[in-house]
Amino acid sequence: MAPARNASLADWLAYLELLHPKTIELGLERVQAVKQALKLNPDFPLITVGGTNGKGSTCAYLEAMLMAAGYRVGCYTSPHLLRYNERVRIAGHEVEDADLCAAFAAIEATRGDISLSYFEFGTLAALWLFARAGVAVAVLEVGLGGRLDAVNAFDPDCAIVTSVDIDHTDYLGTTRELIGYEKAGIFRAGRPAICGDLDAPHSLLQHAASIGAQLDCVGSVFHFVREATVWHFNGRLTHHDLPNPRMPGAYQFNNAACAVAALDALRPQLEVSDAAMHQGLRQAQVAGRFQVVPGPPELILDVAHNPHAAHALAANLQARPCQGKTLALWAMLSDKDIAGVAAAMAGVVDIWLVAGLAVPRGAATEQLTTALAGSVGEVRPCQNITEAWQLACEFARENDRICAFGSFYTVARVLQLHHDFPHG
């Protein structure tokens, strides 16, 4: 039974979780039918962001630069870390519980007997809220894949694929070519498309060409060059002396360049000055993306959950020297490439604090410790993240650092624990 008129956001979210038999069901027919019933046809520009890694950061750069240019921006991302409200922002602010409840109620009253997944319901709710808030532009993060993701029920004015690597193989395929085709499904005929992967799969390039998308690829149509404290972008337009992104990590330059390329491609529909780009680059940040919490000991939080992201995390750790030891608090989902992530991080971890994840699809401690067989680091199995955090706080010395990574669930739980039981 649908929640009552005075239901809380928690009531609605609990209802949505039980509404559809599958947590993930790709396909656009159901969400498109409800979209049409809601008469949800945005009259503002949409920028859709897909990719294996880098989606959330790229959305943050777009949101910050567009806001700095004076636009009222709607931004839809997923998943959230601590509050569902994180997923839907209007003019830089998370939407209120009451607004989300109103959106969910409107969709529930309209959908009839059409079943929607949790993510599909949330996607429609975000666009419903953006339309009623009168946003000037919306930035939408793809949930999974692209071609059959609920976000793709809405036609973007520009679509970005940040990177293509192996992840979600049960849904997208086991090769970069198969995954690249799924990601390229967000491109549209005659409209700008941005690819931030230096080795773009042939399937992505071929699909863009076959539909007539205006594809700009990093390394061919647009380039960027880094210096010590600034970087330079050369593509449809040239931007010199851009400030380094606030978010650390070499890969953030690629994400930022994708955002700049997209905004350049959307001129004159959206005008963003160099000054606004500078301000946005200095301000954009996303929790859980090499998020550094000062110590001592230092705490680093990263949602890296596939080998591509884990290699980037390892490179970031190596580029940030530590006088002491690196303690990894590691928990993952069981359907991820656990062995690949372990191998990517093997050279930068001194002590592994391995935790089971008590969520659907969560990997057991034994599954993770098996992947570390033969590891040069010390391995400490823990029943859960709470125990691992307590051990980390006990073991870590002033010059050490704790790196919590492996999933959004891991980072969210450690953020909560750090708030309740600070280390140091």
∠ Cα 190 193 198 (to 5°): 140
CB 193 within 8 A of CB 216: yes
pLDDT of residue 191: 98
The average confidence (pLDDT) of the chain is: 94
Q: What is the pTM (predicted TM-score) of this model?
A: 0.94
Question: Measured between alpha carbons, how far is 7 from 21 in angstroms, rounded to an integer?
Answer: 22
pLDDT of residue 374: 79
pLDDT of residue 419: 82
Question: Measured between alpha carbons, how far is 284 from 69 in angstroms, rounded to an integer?
Answer: 14
Q: Closest by alpha carbon to 56, among 22, 89, 31?
A: 89
Question: Measured between alpha carbons, how far is 126 from 35 in angstroms, rounded to an integer?
Answer: 12
In the numeric block, the tokens 């492996």 are attached to 406
pLDDT, tens digit (0-9, with 9 covering 90-100), for 96-141: 999 999 999 999 999 999 999 999 999 999 999 999 999 999 999 9
Which residues of the chain are under the pLDDT cut of 70?
A: 21-24, 422-424
pLDDT of residue 21: 67
pLDDT, tens digit (0-9, with 9 covering 90-100), for 226-256: 998 999 999 999 999 999 999 988 899 999 9
φ, ψ dihedrals at 260, nearest 5°: -65, -45
Q: What is the number of other CB atoms lying within 10 angstroms of the CB of residue 422? A: 10
